[in-house]
Amino acid sequence: MSAPDRYAVIGHPVSHSRSPFIHERFAKQTSQKLQYTTIDATPARFATVVTEFFAGGGKGLNVTVPHKQAAVALAQDLTPRAARAGAVNTLSLREDGSLVGDNTDGAGLARDLLNNLGITIAGRSVLLLGAGGAARGVVAPLLGLKPRELTIANRTPAKAVELARLFADMGDVRGCGYPGLRNEPKDLVINATAASLKQQLPPLPPGIVDTRSVCYDMAYGREDTVFLRWAQERGCTRTAMGLGMLVEQAAESFFGWRGIRPDTASVLAALKVELARES
Ligand code: NDP
């Protein structure tokens, strides 16, 4: 009997990742024989660990915080969406031994917002917090949904300004630091910072959310994140964690690896049950 194909998610930290749970269920549902694990690698060890994984027979990696931008340099080819984002969340081994880098984050976020949560983006004001690997992957898909305006705010303001400049051809987008944010409510605020992983909150002006705002945190866990609790304290009733995005981007990666599109609704439901059981 042949050994199962090997896949993993690589990040630092990565122990919180639910990707193994999701991919195991996708594999079962589609009768694919594969093994999916987590790999913790510091930035200093990232390139070596990736090289060893594929040299040892690994077929594909999901790349998570903080390696998405570093992963670009390890791929011999990039899909157009990964090249545009300058960030890779999926590495796949090709027959000739080379690696192709893709970015499925934007497709995952768009599907979650539109299909799972029924949120309208067209004509709305959107604020994206963060300018790291995850933020880079979602700017083009967000602008493709035609918001009225997109503001990118980041702790290091220059990164937000640069990110906005890169996508200025796609719509009304500007970048700034947190002090540069106008203290007025946005229709949708998406937290793409890694602050939630450390139970921290970016220094947000209190007036950027009100009762009509939708607040989305790409981070996820058993309980609402600090950012979502902050929004709820300001009267925001429509809040969501990035569980749906996680499942949708995983399905897109799985499709790239195995050529089969798994059903996401049942796996998202199972993941929610699992988190509720643990808490
Ligand atoms: P990166 O390390 O590439 O970027 C981190 C970003 O967060 C940077 O913009 C950084 O700002 C900012 N940041 C970090 N700490 C703080 C803080 N204390 N206060 C304010 N800003 C902070 O990480 P990723 O972009 O890859 O991941 C970001 C988050 O998104 C993570 O929580 C990750 O788990 C989540 N994610 C979820 C996905 C999902 O499917 N649900 C998919 C992808 C990511 P600076 O530039 O100034 O350092």
pLDDT tens profile 74-108: 999 999 999 999 999 999 999 999 999 999 999 99
**CA distance to 8, 172, 175, per residue, from 14 (Å):** 11, 35, 29
Please tell me the residue having the least CA distance from ligand 1 atom 12: 193
Which of 62, 19, 48, 42 lies closest to 253 in space, CA to CA? 62
CA-proximal residue: ligand 1, atom 44 (nearest): 134
pTM score: 0.96
How far is CA 210 from each of CA 62, 92, 94, 230, rounded to the nearest angstrom?
35, 42, 48, 11
Task: Please state the atom number of ligand 1 nearest to the C-alpha of residue 246.
Answer: 40
Q: In the structure, what pLDDT confidence band is assigned to residue 2 with cuts at 50, 70 and 90?
A: confident
How is residue 39 annotated by DSSP? E
Distance CA 31, CA 160 (A): 43
In the chain, list all ranges with CATH 3.40.50.10860. 5-104+247-264
CATH 3.30.420.10 at 5-104+247-264, yes or no:
no
CA of 185 to the centre of ligand 1 (A): 22
pLDDT for the residue numbered 279: 82
Ligand 1 atom 2, closest CA: 66
Beta carbons within 10 angstroms of residue 203's beta carbon: 12
Q: What architecture is the 106-243 domain classified under in CATH?
A: 3-Layer(aba) Sandwich (3.40)
Closest Cα to residue 36, out of 60, 14, 64, 13?
A: 60
31 exposed, middle or buried (CB, 10 Å; 0-12, 13-18, 19+)? exposed
**Which has the closest alpha carbon to 111: 249, 259, 3, 278?**
249
In the reported structure, the alpha carbon of residue 242 is separated from the centroid of ligand 1 by a whole-number distance in angstroms of 12
Catalytic residue among 28, 33, 59, 68: 68
DSSP state of 212: T
Question: What residue spans in the chain does CATH classification 3.40.50.720 cover?
Answer: 106-243
Residue pLDDT, tens place only, 220-269: 988 999 999 999 999 999 999 999 999 999 999 999 999 999 999 999 99
